[in-house]
Structure 1
Amino acid sequence: MPVQSTNPDYEAHIAEWRMMDDALEGECAIKRNPLNLPKPSGMVEAEKLDGQGNAYLYQNYTARAQYEHWVRDALRSMMGLVSKLIPEIKLPTGMSGMEDNATADGFGLTQLFMRVVRQAISHGRVPMVINVDDSGLPYFSTYATRNAINWDTADQGGRQDLVLAVFREFRKKAEDRYSHDCETVYREFFMVDEVCYTSVRNEAGELVEEEKPLGTVGGNNELVRGLEYIPVIYCGSTDNSPEVDEIPLLTMARAALKAYQLSADYFTALHQTSHPQPWVSGLDDDIELSVTGPSAAWDLGKDGACGYLEFQGAGVEAVRTAMEDQKNAALEAGAKVMDVGGTESGEARKTRQNDQHATLHSIVITAAAAIDQGLRYAAEWTGFSPDDVAFTVKPDFVVTEADAQQLTALIQLWQNRFIAKKDVRGNLRRVALIAPDRTDDQIDDELEAESPIGVINEQ
């Protein structure tokens, strides 16, 4: 099989990763892909008659559609919360430089953490490689999700470990310093006789960089140390196994895309409603009409007639309602991911989250664990004790302080049946006003009490 061969899970999820790429780039990317907005059957038939002459119909249809940037806004809000977290870093003296210079492009561990969390939220998968530079110093390389094309696991010493990892890379062609043309190459990591090897091949499968043990540095090809494993970590949204994890913002992206498709019909209907089509009939052969408008008068002759074909728009309101439903679905999906409550017991949190998996809380923990594992690889590789390194992040997000009047108004809204109990519980937990061991049923009992405001305030 060629070096471009992909893992079956890659093929199963690549469409979702591309959707997330478009969703984050915004409306221009969404509109560049005609698959995001199928052509109505009438436009398909019109283009069969005259493809070039009638192409404007779909162009106008697409131009009127509106894509809302809910995904990008949600990601920005989540990263705003994450940016306030301060990692706790422990490194031996010989690795201390990694705190400020840990990535292939020269950024520190805190910036690496932010990158990993961002990609885990948006794509649910962050491929990371721990490598050493020509001086023998370790660093992290991260790849876009769609560029980690192949991987495989097998029994290694009684455990299931990686035995193959292939990444697509893009190298700038050297003949023109001003050009941005790139050639595609494939970097592979694989096991040979219990030692990790690496090489680079072009699209024809020819070696660009010879196969050699990972960690070979300097002009004399000295080996820092042969590794008995592939130092690749696939950070996910719920764990760090090679299997593909769920995409936290995928539900929101799908809702945004559906709202975009509905908006094309909605705004086209509004356009047609405000621009009725004039019609004429029964004109004599010598009568020619070429001007319409409030300042034009038509001579229709003795038997001529005219009128307007007006779009009634009976379904416009239904489309608008469907768009609003998609907005609500998107916001609900985003709210589930942006779960930063930390005042509940573990069991209570598990019960409340039984309908979801990846949350901002779990993503932060998983990302920190992935970087911690990478640092342990780097320490072992360069002769330090893995026990002397640590990278931890406490997901203690900043919580807005409770305002007594707001809480009173909140409970009164529930008493008047304007909001649901679950919304009251969520707000009380968010401002840490209730004890962490309170279950949903206990809170509901207190809300049903004769004086719920006083009871809640006593907790």
Structure 2
Amino acid sequence: MDVTYTRPELTAALRRWRLVRDVCKGSEKIKGGKDDYLPKPNPQDKSKENEARYDSYLARAVFYNATGRTKNGLIGAVFTTWPTLKVPKLLEYVNTDIDGVGVSIYQQSQSVIGHLLEVGRHGLLVDYPAIEGNASLADMQAGRIRATVTSYKAEDIINWRTRQVGGQHVLSLVVLKEQYEEDTADGFGQEVKDQYRVLRLTEEGRYAVEIWRNEGGWNLYDYREPTDGRGNKWTEIPFTFLGSESNDSSIDDAPLYDMAELNIAHYRNSADYEDSAYLVGQPQVWMSGLDEQWRDWMQDNGIYFGSRAPILLPQGGSAGILQAQPNSIAKEAMDAKERQMVALGARLIEQGSGAKTATQEQNENAAEHSVLSLVVSNVSEAYTKVLEWMGAFMNANGTMEYTLNQNFVRVQIDSNLLASLIKGVQAGLIPQSDFWRQLRDYQLIDPEKTDDDVRDELETSSTGLGLEDADDGGESSTV
């Protein structure tokens, strides 16, 4: 039994994922990869001189991280409006700590979106402390026992399997690579070791968790069958894949891969451009008509070069300056790649963009937004499912929902439009619920407030929301 078995489609994707991950980490990571990302101009030469020349070639290269900045910009666009979270009281702790180590659901979902943009795949596992029988409500309310959500990178989900149950395919096996810490013999240091967490459905249809560790070979270290808040065995694995296209077990495309490839090509062009500027960018003095005596004297004493330092030459001698003609091939190649990255969605490096209407902005970024919208939709759906599993562990009832913003273009509402909308509501031509939805879209109303919340606040307000109506003599009415 080989618990370390890795699916071949995962192995095939690792090179692409590593490229995007490294590019998004920035210059230090890319330059640390040396000839993985910047080939040596003459790799057959193994001399120390050639190694030193390559180090200089590498140091002068400039890595402009358009891909990482684009990823961060897209995440920021999602969180310009705060997500909507609806959970019962027992799950309110996810606002500040969803994973048991102090990461909130908002922070974790930001990280998940970043992973999906980079590699197009991620995983979330809901877990619960091992207890005997039913969990105490007092323990859950005090936070001593609570369900948590652990986030897994695509590279650590090494094996999975589905099987058909009734009319649908369900996960029957997931193998996750993890690390754990073990104290050294002196009690001061710690050693990080690998372990594998196996999630499986048994032949009887019960959910079981196995921990495998290498102790003279890979052996089963721990086994348990988790129960829900009522003490019942689980009949499904509370693990969900997240993808850039769908939340199934298949491996989706990495949205930023094409941009990362261009980013590396741009980096290589930059290395050639900077190397060329260094080698031939400095003007060089030449002289002719010197005899050996003049030559030897100048070699021994040197010359001063500049308008205040005349060069004395023998009769018939001459001097001049060699200046290389501009070579813009590498620079043009860099510019072309920057334009290609802009076309792929790198809005943050686009130059000369003036103020645009919302319609123009939406049209120009439709492709980018469609990818981001799909990612955001998948994350919202996955977290809603995760919250339901947490509710089952905690024996909590009520609405469980997590919805991320999909309106990525900030639009300023026109004052005339707002006045017309209010008049439409006052005249009974626009339902109040539609009007409030519009105000949520424009971020004039907290998106987490329901229609009932808004109505209650207006009814209890001393003044309400009024608008002078010129048609009725300036009387104030309330929406």
Q: CA offsets per residue over residues 395-429 of structure 1, 9 Å max, x none?
A: 234514389xxxxxxxxxxxxxxxxxxxxxxxxxx
Name the structure 2 match of 1:257: 264
Q: CA offsets per residue over residues 340-379 of structure 1, 9 Å max, x none?
A: x9x99xxxx99x95x6795222222111111001112222
Shift of the alpha carbon at 1:318? 1.5
Are the aligned partners of 2:127 and 2:148 in contact in 1 as well (CA < 8 Å)? yes
Name the structure 1 match of 2:197: 187
Name the structure 2 match of 1:361: 373
Name the structure 2 match of 1:30: 30
Are the aligned partners of 1:125 and 1:244 in contact in 2 as well (CA < 8 Å)? yes
From 236, 242, 247, give the equivalent of 2:249.
242
Give the secondary structure class of the aligned counterpart of 2:267.
helix
Are the aligned partners of 1:337 and 1:358 in contact in 2 as well (CA < 8 Å)? no
Q: Distance in 2 between matches of 1:21 and 1:177?
A: 35
Give the secondary structure class of the aligned counterpart of 2:343.
helix
Name the structure 1 match of 2:213: 202
Name the structure 2 match of 1:444: none
Residue 19, structure 1, aligned to residue 15, structure 2: no
Q: Distance in 2 between matches of 1:243 and 1:323?
A: 35
What residue identity is the alignment partner of 2:6?
T
What residue identity is the alignment partner of 1:153?
T
Q: Distance in 2 between matches of 1:9 and 1:266?
A: 38
Name the structure 2 match of 1:74: 70
Are the aligned partners of 1:23 and 1:29 in contact in 2 as well (CA < 8 Å)? yes
Residue 225, structure 1, aligned to residue 225, structure 2: no
Residue 60, structure 1, aligned to residue 56, structure 2: yes
Give the secondary structure class of the aligned counterpart of 1:259.
helix
Name the structure 2 match of 1:108: 104
Name the structure 1 match of 2:181: 172
Cα distance change on mapping 1:229 and 1:337 into 2, 3 Å: farther
Give the secondary structure class of the aligned counterpart of 1:244.
coil
Shift of the alpha carbon at 1:253? 1.5
**What pairs with 1:6-405 in structure 2 (closer than 5 Å)?**
6-33=6-33, 34-40=35-41, 43-45=42-44, 47-48=45-46, 50=47, 52-134=48-130, 136-175=145-184, 179=189, 181-193=191-203, 194-203=205-214, 205-207=217-219, 209-215=221-227, 224-275=231-282, 294=304, 312=324, 316-335=327-346, 359-384=371-396, 388-397=399-408, 399-401=410-412
What residue identity is the alignment partner of 1:182?
V
What residue identity is the alignment partner of 1:170?
Q
Aligned residue pairs, count: 382
Q: Share of identical aligned residues, percent?
A: 22
Are the aligned partners of 2:97 and 2:105 in contact in 1 as well (CA < 8 Å)? yes
Give the secondary structure class of the aligned counterpart of 2:118.
helix
Are the aligned partners of 1:164 and 1:190 in contact in 2 as well (CA < 8 Å)? yes
Q: Distance in 1 between matches of 2:5 and 2:286?
A: 59
Q: TM-score, normalised by structure 1?
A: 0.70
Are the aligned partners of 1:272 and 1:311 in contact in 2 as well (CA < 8 Å)? no
Are the aligned partners of 1:86 and 1:393 in contact in 2 as well (CA < 8 Å)? yes
Are the aligned partners of 1:252 and 1:331 in contact in 2 as well (CA < 8 Å)? no
Q: Distance in 2 between matches of 1:216 and 1:56?
A: 62
Q: Distance in 1 between matches of 2:320 and 2:175?
A: 67
Give the secondary structure class of the aligned counterpart of 1:225.
coil
Shift of the alpha carbon at 1:224? 4.2
Cα distance change on mapping 1:313 and 1:262 into 2, 3 Å: farther
Give the secondary structure class of the aligned counterpart of 1:116.
helix
Shift of the alpha carbon at 1:208? 6.1
Q: TM-score, normalised by structure 2?
A: 0.68
Are the aligned partners of 2:228 and 2:395 in contact in 1 as well (CA < 8 Å)? no
- CA RMSD for the aligned pairs? 4.2
Are the aligned partners of 1:227 and 1:381 in contact in 2 as well (CA < 8 Å)? no
Q: Distance in 2 between matches of 1:31 and 1:77?
A: 23
Shift of the alpha carbon at 1:240? 0.9
Q: CA offsets per residue over residues 122-180 of structure 1, 9 Å max, x none?
A: 33222111111355521100022322222222223342222221222222231266646
Cα distance change on mapping 1:396 and 1:185 into 2, 3 Å: same
Name the structure 1 match of 2:467: none
Q: CA offsets per residue over residues 291-328 of structure 1, 9 Å max, x none?
A: 866479x9xxxxxxx999x79567x3111111011111
Give the secondary structure class of the aligned counterpart of 1:365.
helix
What residue identity is the alignment partner of 2:181?
K
Unaligned runs of 5+ in 1: 218-222, 299-305, 404-430, 432-459
What residue identity is the alignment partner of 1:39?
K
Are the aligned partners of 2:163 and 2:169 in contact in 1 as well (CA < 8 Å)? yes
Q: Distance in 1 between matches of 2:347 and 2:243?
A: 17
Cα distance change on mapping 1:172 and 1:402 into 2, 3 Å: same
Give the secondary structure class of the aligned counterpart of 2:345.
helix
Shift of the alpha carbon at 1:383? 3.6
Q: CA offsets per residue over residues 23-79 of structure 1, 9 Å max, x none?
A: 122111001112101112xx223x24x2x3421121111111110021222222222
Cα distance change on mapping 1:69 and 1:178 into 2, 3 Å: farther
